[in-house]
């Protein structure tokens, strides 16, 4: 990725990983970027490294601006290896640099890399004077890991937000105005749902802290830099972190010989007729990343499976385990976010059942309320079963609209 200047002396020097489409399970359909930023002042600071396989490219980008050995500070906002596994090469190329990070980040690095780096640990409100510019630090534990922090340049009003506000997308565009807003927000939503959703309570705290800052640029560690649409992404994060529900019903399913698919489509017909937004996700075709993105704002989730050896299809079981980890409903004790979201289990079976019933138990465990009984059919749904599905879809839509206040 070519370097570009965010404002005088502040450069984007990160790299693109065009071929990364499986980011520890996240289906990154457009690839990934590992963003890194260079602040040129009397002192020179590099904000975040990149994945080790791309560190040579990072160092070349830096070398196109300054000799990397002149770097005074390497700021590590986060310990996860997509940003830190290139640190060893960076610290070798910048032998006089101090490594700036939180105490928890240092501890994580000790366990990951076991290197004797010259650390300078920081906490919220600590500052680092670079000359004309001063970096200010804001610890944001669990956004994304316990070690995470953001860095802020008050004079330029730039927030280096680490994973927060990122998108997994590779492209030559660097700023949010260079692609259609709908596309950028869709990628941001997909990223939030799959990576940040279970951390919403901490996101709300980080947003509260960030509200005190004047921000004209949000420079995340992945994807496009926000400048034009900062109010839109901040508002979206507030909504997503609050688990506010839209009048939307998502039907997620797998099918063996088409029977559960017929039921899923009948459910969708019922939702459509009742005026709520409907989304149909075939797990093996569309993938769990897409399914998670769809359920982020959905008031209702219907999950269908055939029975395979008295159990659900493996992709359905894996998906529900994943949803449980994402915690889209009342994620903590006395945490009302997402409360009242509703679910439905359905599916076909042959000589023995069990798959759809297992789904019902899982949905309940996750926190979804199941106002309707499990809908099952033997081998192939008849017209009566399909009508039952259409009615169930309409009922889910009505309840979803009530929950969303629409």
Active site positions, annotated: 24, 78, 80, 82, 144, 163, 191, 222
Q: 115-124: long-range contacts (C-beta < 8 A, 24 or more apart)?
A: 115/87, 115/88, 115/91, 117/87, 117/91, 120/73, 122/149, 124/149, 124/209
Choose one: 3-11, 68-76, 77-85, 135-143; the region binding ligand FEO (CB under 6 A): 77-85
Burial label, 108 (beta-carbon count in 10 A; 0-12, 13-18, 19+): buried
Tokens of 392: 């169930």
**Candidate residues 199, 221, 342, 359; the one interacting with ligand FEO per rule CB under 6 A:** 221
In the complex with ligand FEO, which residue's Cβ is closer, 144 or 248? 144
In the complex with ligand FEO, which residue's Cβ is closer, 220 or 343? 220
Burial label, 129 (beta-carbon count in 10 A; 0-12, 13-18, 19+): exposed
Q: Which residue, 249, 283, 245, is CA-closest to 372?
A: 249
In the complex with ligand FEO, which residue's Cβ is closer, 219 or 375? 219
Choose one: 49-57, 75-83, 149-157, 312-320; the region binding ligand FEO (CB under 6 A): 75-83
Beta strand 158-162 with 217-220 is parallel
User: φ, ψ for residue 156 (rounded to 5)?
Assistant: -95, -10
**Candidate residues 11, 51, 83, 399; the one interacting with ligand FEO per rule CB under 6 A:** 83
Q: Minimum CB separation from ligand FEO for residue 162, in Å? A: 7
Spatial separation of the C-alpha atoms in residues 115 and 95, rounded to whole Å: 13
315 makes contact with ligand FEO (CB under 6 A): no
Q: With CB under 6 A as the rule, give the number of residues binding ligand FEO.
A: 9
What is the DSSP-derived secondary structure letter of residue 299?
E
Spatial separation of the C-alpha atoms in residues 244 and 238, rounded to whole Å: 9
User: φ, ψ for residue 105 (rounded to 5)?
Assistant: -70, -45
78 makes contact with ligand FEO (CB under 6 A): yes
Tokens of 75: 């700021």
Nearest position to ligand FEO, beta carbon: 80
Q: Minimum CB separation from ligand FEO for residue 29, in Å? A: 17
**Candidate residues 48, 57, 82, 254; the one interacting with ligand FEO per rule CB under 6 A:** 82
Footprint of ligand FEO on residues 142-201 (CB under 6 A)? 144-145, 163
Tokens of 130: 């670079």
51 makes contact with ligand FEO (CB under 6 A): no
In the complex with ligand FEO, which residue's Cβ is closer, 13 or 278? 13
Tokens of 298: 């959905």
Tokens of 374: 């499990």
In the complex with ligand FEO, which residue's Cβ is closer, 50 or 394? 50
In the complex with ligand FEO, which residue's Cβ is closer, 163 or 261? 163
Task: Spell out a b/e string for 48-64, using b for 16 or more CB atoms within 10 Å of the CB, else e.
Answer: bbbbbebbebbbebbee
Q: Minimum CB separation from ligand FEO for residue 40, in Å? A: 24
Q: Minimum CB separation from ligand FEO for residue 221, in Å? A: 5
Q: Does residue 307 come out as left (phi exceeding 0), alpha (psi in the -120 to 50 range) or beta? A: beta
392 makes contact with ligand FEO (CB under 6 A): no
Show the site string, 106-145: x = touches ligand FEO by CB under 6 A, - = not.
Answer: --------------------------------------xx
Q: Minimum CB separation from ligand FEO for residue 319, in Å? A: 22
104 makes contact with ligand FEO (CB under 6 A): no
Residues 6+ apart with CB under 8 A from 213: 152, 154, 157, 159
In the complex with ligand FEO, which residue's Cβ is closer, 80 or 254? 80
Choose one: 79-87, 172-180, 349-357, 368-376; the region binding ligand FEO (CB under 6 A): 79-87
Q: What residues make contact with ligand FEO under the rule CB under 6 A?
A: 78, 80, 82-83, 144-145, 163, 221-222
């Amino acid at each position: 990725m070519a370097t570009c200047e965010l404002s005088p002396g502040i450069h984007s020097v990160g790299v693109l990983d065009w071929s990364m489409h499986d980011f520890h399970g996240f289906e990154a359909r457009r690839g990934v970027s590992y963003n890194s930023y260079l602040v040129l002042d009397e002192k020179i600071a590099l904000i975040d490294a990149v994945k080790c396989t791309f560190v040579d490219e990072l160092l070349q980008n830096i070398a196109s601006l300054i000799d990397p050995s002149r770097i005074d500070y390497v700021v590590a906002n986060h310990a996860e290896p997509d940003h830190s596994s290139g640190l060893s090469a960076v610290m070798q190329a910048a032998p006089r640099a101090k490594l700036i990070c939180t105490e928890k980040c240092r501890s994580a690095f000790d366990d990951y890399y076991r290197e004797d780096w010259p650390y300078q640990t920081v906490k919220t409100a600590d500052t680092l004077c670079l000359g004309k510019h001063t970096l200010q630090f804001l610890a944001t534990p669990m956004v994304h890991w316990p070690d995470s922090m953001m860095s802020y340049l008050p004079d330029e009003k730039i927030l280096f937000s680490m994973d927060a506000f990122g998108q997994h997308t590779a492209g030559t565009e660097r700023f949010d105005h260079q692609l259609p807003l709908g596309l950028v927000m869709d990628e941001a939503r997909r990223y939030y749902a799959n990576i940040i959703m279970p951390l919403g309570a901490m996101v709300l705290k980080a947003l509260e802290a960030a509200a005190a800052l004047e921000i004209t640029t949000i420079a995340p560690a992945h994807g496009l830099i926000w400048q034009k649409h900062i109010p839109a992404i901040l508002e979206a994060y507030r909504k997503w972190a609050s688990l506010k529900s839209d009048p939307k019903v998502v039907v997620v399913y797998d099918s063996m010989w088409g029977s559960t698919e017929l039921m899923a489509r009948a459910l969708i017909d019922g939702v459509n007729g009742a005026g709520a937004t409907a989304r149909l996700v075939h797990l093996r075709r569309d993938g769990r990343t897409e399914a998670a993105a769809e359920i982020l704002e959905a008031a209702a989730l219907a999950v269908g499976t055939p029975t395979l050896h008295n159990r659900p299809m493996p992709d359905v079981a894996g998906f529900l385990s994943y949803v449980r980890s994402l915690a889209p409903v009342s994620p903590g004790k006395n945490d009302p976010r997402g409360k009242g979201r509703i679910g439905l289990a359905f599916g076909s079976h042959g000589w023995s059942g069990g798959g759809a019933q297992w789904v019902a138990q899982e949905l309940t465990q996750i926190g979804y309320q199941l106002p309707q009984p499990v809908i099952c059919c033997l081998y192939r749904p008849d017209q009566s079963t399909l009508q039952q599905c259409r009615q169930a879809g309409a009922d889910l839509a009505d309840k979803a609209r009530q929950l969303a206040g629409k």
